[in-house]
Amino acid sequence: MSELTERLKQQLIAGSSRPLMQDAGQHWYTGSQLNLEENVWKNYWQNKGIGHNDIVLVALSNSVSYSIVIQSLWDIGAIVQPINPVSTEIQISELEDQYHYSAIILNENIKELSILKDTFTNQPRLTTLHESEVQIFIRNKHIAHLNETPDDDQLAVIMHTSGTTGKPKRVGLTHYQLLAGAFHVIDSELLTSHDSTFILMPMFHINALVISNLATCLSHGQLLFRPKFSAHLFWKEVSSEKITWVSLTPAIIAILLQRDEQPTDNNLRFLRTASAPLLPSTHEEFNRRFNVPLIESYGMTEAASQIAQNPLNKPLQNSVGLPVGTELKILGANYEEMAVGQVGEIAIKGESIITHYLDPQPEAFHDGWLLTGDLGSLDENGYLQISGRSKEMIIRGGENVNPLAVEDCLNVLKFVREMAVIGVPDKIYGETVTAVIVPNEISQDHRHQLALLNELANEQLLPVERPTKYIFSSQLPKNATGKIQRTLLAQEVTQ
CB 325 within 8 A of CB 183: yes
pLDDT tens, residue by residue, 409-444: 998 899 999 999 998 887 777 788 999 999 998 888
At 36, the pLDDT band (50, 70, 90 cuts) reads very high
For 135, the 3-state DSSP assignment is strand
Q: Return the higher-pLDDT residue of 441 and 101.
A: 101
CA angle, residues 185, 187, 191, in degrees to nearest 5? 80
- pLDDT of 261 strictly over 60: yes
For 249, the 3-state DSSP assignment is coil
Average pLDDT taken over every residue of the chain: 90
Q: What is the pTM of this model?
A: 0.84
- pLDDT of 150 strictly over 80: yes
Per-residue DSSP letter, 87 = -
Q: What's the CA gap between 464 and 397, in Å, rounded?
A: 8
The mean-pLDDT minimum among 126-135, 280-289, 339-348, 450-459 falls in 126-135
| Burial per residue of 130-155, b for 16 or more beta-carbon CB atoms within 10 angstroms, e otherwise | ebbebbbbbbeebeebebeebebebb
Please name each of the domains of the chain with its CATH number.
3-174 (3.40.50.12780), 229-389 (3.40.50.12780), 394-494 (3.30.300.30)
pLDDT of residue 143: 78
pLDDT tens, residue by residue, 304-339: 999 999 999 999 988 999 999 999 999 998 999 999
Q: What's the CA gap between 40 and 327, in Å, rounded?
A: 41
The mean-pLDDT minimum among 84-98, 282-296, 324-338, 339-353 falls in 84-98
